[in-house]
Amino acid sequence: MAKIASRISQLTGEGALAVFTRAKELEKEGRSIIHLELGEPDFHPAAPVVDAVRAAVAEGRDRYVATRGIPPLRSAIADYLKRTRNLQVESEQVLVAPGCKMALALAMMALIEPADEVIYPDPSFPIYPSFTRGLGARPISYALREKNRFQPDLAEIAGKITPKTKVLIFNSPNNPTGTVFTQEIIAGIAELAKKHDLWVIADEIYARILFNGEYKSIWVLPGMAERTVIIDGFSKSFAMTGWRLGYAVAQKHVINALDMLVLNTFTCTAEFSQVAAIEALKDSTNAVPAMVAEYRKRRDLFVEKLNRIPGFRCQAPDGAFYAWVNIEDTGLPAMEVQRLLLEEAGVAGIAGAAFGAEGENYLRFSLVSAAHLLEEALERIERVSKRWGQLAVAR
């Protein structure tokens, strides 16, 4: 029989979806489930954004458009990045894609050759190592450890760079730890990238969901604009996951390379989504700060109460909307905690190994349910976990 290309066997999926599928089965059986597994905001886009997409469709804005994105959106993104992140970029340095993930895939396809090495954080978004392998390259991880408040160790990164290293990826705030890399770490990464002539892919999708201070992009550091590709999108900051809207920011010759890939694959991002995205960037109703304030409230509530439950420990994340919870002291493997929480407590979280080997003793909970549901989840976790002492001893 004709064979599927071998690169497919190199790819892996996302753990959240398996838990989500089981949670849905339990719901069909009539069980109550609190969903903390997917990284999908429970908010929806602000009303003016919804009005804008309606108007765009009514006006016939549903045609093939420029492969790299409609010019008004590209220039709105450049303005937005200047306003919110102090980046000096021109609209010619922006390319629109259907989702941040697609922008990531385009950047990786454009920069990585077979047999190259790609350095990425562990734990992190599972697509980084998966897609690296899919391109015939080698993913090499650096650890984000609890004892370092989940900041990377620059000496470890330096020790992993070889003549084959081509790209260094980081994601700040990080999914799943919520860590915002310090200025010192970002400067250190920049120095390593310059010294070894590496590309940096900076996944800034959570840049707006920040609980302290202002976002500092690696792009602004001396000599970094020419070797950095920023990827970002509308899924998290504007609660527009299903709209499939993301973008890449890079030097023009890189954008031209990505554009060639767009031309050879999806042709363009939906015109009406792009028109409405301009409205989202204006944020005329201040939806983004309101959403971030709500995430902060949820974070404070969840982390504080969870830390009081024996067996669980969690540092308050500085950004994004995840709690990365150490469950070592429950005496049970994380997969078993994931199973018991789902099957017995009706709380869906994900065992941390889905984000890399460093996640072995962790669970990720997405704080994407209302505060009263988080309270209920915590009560359920406390109730069910009281029995675990006996389970761990019996093992």
- Chain residues in the site for ligand PLP (CB under 6 A): 39, 99-101, 125, 171, 175, 203, 205, 233, 235, 241, 246
Helix axis angle for 271-282 and 47-58, nearest 10°, is: 150
Find the shortest distance in angstroms from Cβ 202 to ligand PLP. 11
Min dist. Cβ of residue 233 to ligand PLP (A): 4
**Cβ contacts of 204 within 8 Å, gap of 6 or more:** 85, 171, 172, 215, 217, 230, 231, 232
Residue (362 or 388) nearer to ligand PLP, CB = 362
Q: Is the dihedral of CA 216, 221, 225, 227 positive or negative?
A: negative
State how far the Cα of 173 lies from the Cα of 369, in Å rounded to an integer.
20
Whole-Å CA distances, 337 to 312, 324, 344 = 11, 14, 10
Q: Which is nearer to ligand PLP, 168 or 205 (CB)?
A: 205
Q: Beta-strand (E) ranges in 87-187?
A: 94-97, 117-122, 138-143, 165-171
249 bridge partner residues: 94, 230
Q: Which is nearer to ligand PLP, 74 or 309 (CB)?
A: 74
CB of 72 vs ligand PLP, minimal distance in Å: 20
Q: Within 13 A of 353's CA, how many CA atoms are on the CB side? A: 8
Backbone phi and psi for residue 7, each to the nearest 5 degrees, phi listed first: -60, -25
Helical residues (DSSP H) of 136-196, grouped into ranges: 154-160, 183-195
Q: Measured from the CB atom, is 309 or 358 closer to ligand PLP?
A: 358
Rounded least distance, CB 139 to ligand PLP, Å: 15
Q: Which is nearer to ligand PLP, 171 or 330 (CB)?
A: 171
Q: Given the complex with ligand PLP, which of 100 and 381 has the nearer CB atom?
A: 100
Check residue 178 and give left, alpha or beta (phi > 0: left; psi -120 to 50: alpha): left
Residue with tokens 């597994």: 37
* Closer residue to ligand PLP, CB minimum distance, 89 or 100: 100
Shortest Å, Cβ 293 to ligand PLP: 21
Tell me if 201 sits within 8 A of 107, measured CB to CB: yes
- What is the nearest approach in angstroms of ligand PLP to the Cβ of residue 248? 12
Smallest separation (angstroms) from ligand PLP to the CB of 237: 10
